[in-house]
Amino acid sequence: MNIEEIRIYCLKKAAVTECFPFDELSLVFKVANKMFALSALEKPSNIVLKCDPERALQLRETYSEIEGAYHMNKTMWNQIALQGNVPDKLIIELIDHSYDLVVSKLSKKDRISFGL
């Protein structure tokens, strides 16, 4: 997968927006104004995704292309190299997992107002 394919996939999800809140090179995807994915456009071969802490550790042990995300809480955020051995199907699953984690933490009021 490449970052454009990921971008298209993320933007098809409900209540997702893209923005550059940190700088003009850090593309962030948010659901209901909460970040679930990030890619630095100067290194578009990586994506950062939220992950359940136990699963994050398991993924890091399984794939050398998955590691704790730089400048993020490494307990819950993984950085994934897109040009390695991580199957596209797993990348899609991890995007969905990140999105679902963020949605699950939203208040009922926010879920209703964003149509989730």
What is the reported pLDDT for 94? Answer: 97
Torsion of CA 76, 80, 86, 89, to 10 degrees: 70
Low-confidence ranges of the chain (pLDDT < 70): 44
Distance, in Å, from the CA atom of 11 to the CA atom of 17, rounded to the nearest integer, reads 7
What is the reported pLDDT for 6? Answer: 93
CA 67 to chain centre: 13
What is the reported pLDDT for 74? Answer: 82
pLDDT tens profile 82-106: 988 899 999 999 999 999 999 999 9
Domains identified in the chain and CATH numbers: 3-107 (3.90.1150.30)
Distance, in Å, from the CA atom of 103 to the CA atom of 4, rounded to the nearest integer, reads 23
Report the predicted TM-score, pTM, of the whole model to 2 decimal places.
Answer: 0.92
What tokens appear for 22 in the block?
């940190």
3-state secondary structure of 7: helix
